[in-house]
Amino acid sequence: MRAYLLVLLTAAAVTYLCTPLARRLAERLGAMSPVRARDVHTVPTPRLGGTAMLAGLAAALVVASQLPFLDAVYAESRGPWAVLGAAALLSLIGVADDVWGLDALAKLGGQVLAASLLAWGGVQLLSLPVFGVTVGSGPTFFALTVLAVLVAVNAVNFIDGLDGLAAGVMLISGSAFFVYTYLLSQDASPEDYSNLATLVAAALVGCCLGFLPHNAHPARIFMGDSGSMLLGLLLAASGVAASGVDPAVVSQVQVAPVFLPLLLPLAVLLLPLLDLVWAVVRRVAKGQSPFTPDRLHLHHRLMDLGHSHARAVGVMYAWAAVISFGAVSTAVVPLDVALPVWGAALLACVVVTVRIRRSDAVRAPVA
């Protein structure tokens, strides 16, 4: 655990210290988010926060490569460097989009290239355990890995619409995934439970932790596409790497661990995925491109309900925590205990979502 905490703190410290530099770089390059009709911020704000996260990720992986506990992770594959290479490529594409603007197809092509680099580097699905039978083949797993990265990258990008929202949701969700992969690998191999999935999850949490103080409302800098795409890639890479651990050894009693490598990444990304799917459906139904921006995302709808900016973000945090940690609890707590508690927590989230304080209703914008 100490090795992972060192990786996490390294990513957090370097990201935190580099973010003011990223802010100055954005101002110099003119990478500023203007105030548009669909936006919530009221003044032009620098982007390129993802470049600071990339620096934090690079520092964390370099430090990790020098830790004896993680020797096996670096010796057995080039996975950590494949993650860094794919992250760097995505961040560069994000920087180009933040500075000059890229069309949707150009960004999609860059995302496919980065996802392919990740899979080619060895970070790809190894199996799909469906009712005890491993299904799929090498080319199938390669394609599914690319698809998983594309979905995660764009889902995170879609929820990056309020100050601190994407960074906070990924901090919470990444923490849940870190706990899950750590416990999974510890039970699967007590002698050496170092693994790539937990390493990447720790770096993801650290990057979010270091960036959030600069991005919390009122934000002094946005992560931009260079950051949202990087976070989506890291979560996808961690989930894909977790598929290489046999979950059946975690518990002979629990059923959930067998399926969590497949389901937990979906649970962690449930809010962004819902936002992504609903956005595509409503835009296509109107005859628009799926990439046409609008002001109908989940966070916008919360504010239209009457929540203030800060409370809308808090509601999204609550949902992310309950969904992701609730899913993890089914692997470590008996189901007859985990499911009722999870249900009660979900009900509490519903109450928080629909209950609006009068002070929030006064401050919230009307659509």
Query: pLDDT tens for residues 6-56?
Result: 999 999 999 999 999 999 999 998 888 776 555 555 578 898 999 999 999
Q: Which residues of the chain have pLDDT under 70?
A: 35-42, 127-137, 188, 244-265, 267-269, 271-272, 276, 289-301, 303-304, 306, 356-367
Cβ–Cβ < 8 Å for 4, 63: no
pLDDT given for residue 40 in this prediction: 59
CA 37 to chain centroid: 27
Q: How many distinct helices (H) and strands (E) make up the chain?
A: 15, 4
DSSP result, 344-359 = HHHHHHHHHHH---HH
Cβ–Cβ < 8 Å for 17, 49: no
Q: Is the dihedral of CA 203, 168, 46, 300 positive or negative?
A: positive
Q: What is the three-class DSSP state of 12? A: helix
pLDDT given for residue 203 in this prediction: 97
Q: Is the dihedral of CA 57, 59, 60, 62 positive or negative?
A: positive
- The whole-angstrom separation of Cα 332 and Cα 349 is 22
Q: Is the dihedral of CA 169, 175, 181, 183 positive or negative?
A: negative
Q: How many CB atoms lie within 10 A of CB 44?
A: 10
DSSP result, 211-265 = HHHHHSSSPS---HHHHHHHHHHHHHHHHHHHTTS-GGGT-SS-SHHHHHHHHHH
- The whole-angstrom separation of Cα 351 and Cα 198 is 34
- The whole-angstrom separation of Cα 185 and Cα 65 is 19
Q: Name residues whose C-beta falls within 8 Å of residue 112's C-beta, 6 or more positions apart in sequence.
A: 146, 150
Tens digits of per-residue pLDDT, 97-125? 888 888 888 899 999 999 999 999 988 87
Residue 57's nearest CA partner among 182, 237, 189 is 237
pLDDT given for residue 66 in this prediction: 94
How many angstroms separate the Cα of 316 from the Cα of each of 171, 270, 298? 12, 11, 9
